[in-house]
Structure 1
Amino acid sequence: MELVAGIDAGTQSLKVLVYDPAARKVVASTSASLELASGADGSREQAPADWVAALNSCFAAIAPAVRSRIVALAVSGQQHGFVPLDAAGQVLAPAKLWCDTSTSAECTQIMDAVGGTAQTIAAAGNPILSGYTASKLPWTKTHRPEAYANLATILLPHDYLNFVLTGERFCEYGDASGTGWLDVRTRTWSPDLLRATDPDRDLAACLPPIAAPEALYDIAPAAAKTLGLPATVKVAVGGGDNMMAAIGTGCVTPGRLAMSLGTSGTLFAYSDTPVVDPEGAWAAFCSSTGGWLPLICTMNCTVVTEQVADAFDFNTRHADGHLRNTPPGADGLVMLPFLNGERTPDLPLGKGVLAGLDTTNMTPAHFYRAAMEGATYSLKYGYDAFVRGGMQFDRIVLTGGGSNSAQWRQLVADVFGLPVDVPTQSEGAAFGAALQALWALGHARGEGASIADITERHVALDPQLSARPDPARGHAYATAYARFLRYLDALTPLQRG
């Protein structure tokens, strides 16, 4: 009769999923939309209070009889966000998010202070890329001096929701590795990166302790009352949305490649050892299960297809017809879909580009196909780096909102030349958080099941949603991808200003 819950605080919405492990089914799922404040300088911010309001709204929409059976929960959250708290736990400023490119100059400043990109990777395993948490601290020091002066604790979005739920300030290895401050090889904060970010204060004093992956905390009485949950609920450490999606797709053992088609696009694969690229071609993150999670992130995925659909006044849920009515390669129309700047390829100041327009392809269907292909080609660009690094995969497990599109599933299979499978639970991050809570609870009870055991038992694939590569289409996409790369190479100097 026991239930576990997963909370996924994303960029566009917050979702709550309640799972029955005995019946192996989701018994409740709710969501609440979130507003994003955007600025012409590339700033992307949200009010943490809105996350809390959305959390309260989601739980209020779940039947009391279901809430009363929840025994453990965990939070998945958008990575890289910067939530500054004062000593009393009050938020000092809006949270700057993963897609905020207004601090790209600060990324360079930090790496220059370490000695350059190569030295930064040597010190911590990752360069400081656009959107990483580290760059937001010096920006805050310059632009929000009062918040900087009163800063006591730096939390990530999922850390902040854990703080609301438990009253405790802590983080975990997976999400912490996306700050840019964590030495991913040793799983400790890098003194060199902290000093390079701010030589005037001890940033280590502002960073919360790092909790073990299987740690459990008690829910705060006030939070339990507000959410209508039992006072005995346990809160697992959770993690970044990519780390939780890795659990939700079963990507917790070597050899499996997962792809998330959400607001951003990601590729990630589990490893038992650190996988650091000396050129910084991928993010050398930690997992939230005790290992590592080499990861490729693009900043523009479903956000691009949705923008095109909005521009032409149609719903993305009914857009597969546009793909069926246009050929692979969109009759030569190419989109560099960098509406939010881009991380892969590394063009934080990049802008979207349409190329190859002619009288045959200037239609809404072609624009939509070019957007979907462009978002997929950006991920292929990152995948090629994985392959050059010696990684090998025999299939892709797909999650995120884009996985609901049959045409996009087939597009991924054809572009990557790999079979595509889709879990029955489409909300990979929320489901992964629920499974992490289940794992941590079992560990505390001495049950001994590993996270791999848990995912083997509970992550099921839907055979009706699988896609297999078609050689003929694959050839056409290879030609179109080569065209995309030529435009990318030609326009990169302009994109870097």
Structure 2
Amino acid sequence: MSLYAGIDAGTQSLKVVVYDPATKQAVACASEALALDSRDDGSREQEPSAWADAMRTCFGRIDAAVRRRIVALSVSGQQHGFVALDADGNVLAPAKLWCDTSTAAECGQIMDAVGGPGACITSAGNPILAGYTASKLPWTRKHRPEAYARLASILLPHDYLNYILTGRRFCEHGDASGTGWLDVRKREWSPAMLEATDPRRDLGECLPTLVAADALFAIDPAEAAALGVPETVRVAAGGGDNMMAAWGTGAVSAGRLVMSLGTSGTLFAYSDTPVVSDAGEWAAFCSSSGGWLPLICTMNCTVATEAVARLAGFSTRDGDAHIAATIPGADGLTLLPFFNGERTPNLPHARASWHGMDVANTTPAHMYRAAMEGATFSLKYGFDAFVRAGMAFEGIVLTGGGANSAQWRQLVADVFGLPVQVPWQVEGAAFGAALQALWAVRRAAGEGVTPASVCAEHVGMDPARAARPDRRNGDAYAAAYQRFLHYLDAVRADAAASSSIEPAPARIAA
């Protein structure tokens, strides 16, 4: 009779999934849209209170009898966000998000203070890239001095919801590794990176306690009442949305490559040991299951398809028909989909641009296809870094909203030349959070279960949504991808010429 809830606080919405492990079914789902404050300087911000309000709204939409059966829950949250609290736990300013590129200059300043990107990688495993949490602190010191003066605690978005749920400030290693402050090899905060970020104070005093992936906490009775769940509910550690998607897709043991097609695009795979790129070609993150999660992130995935659909005057629900009406390569039309700037490749100030336009290929269908292809090519660019490092994969597991598109599933199979599978549970991050809570409760009860055994029991693939590569399409996409790289090289050269910062080597993914 026990149920487990997963909460996923994303950029565009907050979702709640309630899972029944006995029937292996999601018995309830709810979602609430979230507003995003975007400004021309690259700022992308949200009010943390909106996440808490959305969480309570979602639980309120779930049948009371279902809520009473929940025994544990876990939170998945968008990574890299910066939530500043005062000594009393009050939010001091809007949260700057993962897709915020206004702090790009601060990234360089932090890395310079350590001795450059290579020194950052030596100290902690990762350079400081656009959107990472670390860069948001010196930005806050400069632009919000009153908030900085009162700053007592720094939390990530998922940490903040855990704080609302439990009254305690803690962080697990997966989400912590996306701050730029965690030494991913030692799984502890890096003194060198903290001092480089803010030499004026002991920044470590502002950071939450690091906890194990199977940690459990008591829910605050007042919050339990607000959600309509029992006061006996336990709150698991949770993690970043990519780390929870790893749970929801079974990427908690080696060999499985996962691609998430959400607001951002990600590629990741589990490892039992740290996987650090000396050139910073991927994010060397920890997992939220006790291991590590090398990850490629692009900042523009469904952002691109939604923006182009809106421009063309149709809904993305109708997007597959437009893809079907066009051919691979969009008749020469290419979109560099950098609407939010970009992390892979590392072009935080870049903007989206069309290339190869002519009178025949500027139809709404061509433009939509070019957007979907551009978002996919950005992920292929990152995937190439994995391949150069000797990683090999037999297939791809898709998650995120884009995985609901049959045309996108086939496009991924053709571009990457690998078979594609999609789990039955499409809300990978929320479902993964529920599985982590289930694992933690079973561990606390003395069962010797592993993340891999839990996922083997509960993560299944939907054969109706599988896709296999078509060689003919693959050849056409290979040519289109080369055009994408050609235009990308031109944009990189232009960015380098207009910047005093030494550019990264060509075709190196961040």
TM-score of the superposed pair, with normalisation by structure 2? 0.97
Following TM superposition, the consecutive aligned residue runs of length 4 or more in structure 1 with deviations greater than 3 angstroms are none
- Give the Cα separation in 1 of the matches to 2:222 and 2:167: 9
Match of 1:350 in 2: 350
Match of 1:79 in 2: 79
- 2:102 alignment partner, SS class: coil
1:166/1:218 contact within 8 Å kept: yes
Match of 2:444 in 1: 444
Amino acid across the alignment from 1:87: A
1:20/1:26 contact within 8 Å kept: yes
- 1:307 alignment partner, SS class: helix
- Give the Cα separation in 2 of the matches to 1:29 and 1:210: 30
Match of 1:270 in 2: 270
- Give the Cα separation in 1 of the matches to 2:12 and 2:92: 22
Residues 1:53 and 2:64 aligned together: no
Matches within 5 A, 1:327-342: 327-342=327-342
Match of 2:24 in 1: 24
- Give the Cα separation in 2 of the matches to 1:168 and 1:199: 27
Q: What count of residue pairs does the alignment treat as equivalent? A: 497
1:82/1:156 contact within 8 Å kept: yes
- Give the Cα separation in 1 of the matches to 2:442 and 2:357: 57
- Give the Cα separation in 2 of the matches to 1:360 and 1:486: 21
- 1:8 alignment partner, SS class: strand
1:6/1:431 contact within 8 Å kept: yes
Match of 1:433 in 2: 433
Amino acid across the alignment from 1:20: D
Matches within 5 A, 1:194-273: 194-273=194-273
Match of 1:162 in 2: 162
Match of 2:100 in 1: 100
Residues 1:115 and 2:82 aligned together: no
- Give the Cα separation in 2 of the matches to 1:226 and 1:326: 50
How far did 1:180 drift? 0.1
- 1:319 alignment partner, SS class: helix
Amino acid across the alignment from 1:489: D
Cα deviation digits, residues 401-429 of structure 1 (max 9, x gap): 00000000000000000000000000000
- 2:277 alignment partner, SS class: coil
Matches within 5 A, 1:302-317: 302-317=302-317
Q: What RMSD, in angstroms, separates the aligned Cα atoms of the two structures? A: 0.5
Structure 2: stretches of 5+ with no match in the other structure: 499-510
Amino acid across the alignment from 1:466: A
How far did 1:211 drift? 0.7
How far did 1:493 drift? 2.2
Match of 1:470 in 2: 470
Match of 1:385 in 2: 385
Cα deviation digits, residues 103-129 of structure 1 (max 9, x gap): 000000000000001111111000000
Amino acid across the alignment from 2:471: P
1:299/1:343 contact within 8 Å kept: yes
- Give the Cα separation in 2 of the matches to 1:298 and 1:149: 33
Further displaced range: 39-48 or 309-318: 309-318
- 2:213 alignment partner, SS class: coil
1:351/1:495 contact within 8 Å kept: no
Amino acid across the alignment from 2:473: R
How far did 1:325 drift? 0.7
TM-score of the superposed pair, with normalisation by structure 1? 1.00
- Give the Cα separation in 2 of the matches to 1:143 and 1:20: 47
Matches within 5 A, 1:269-418: 269-418=269-418
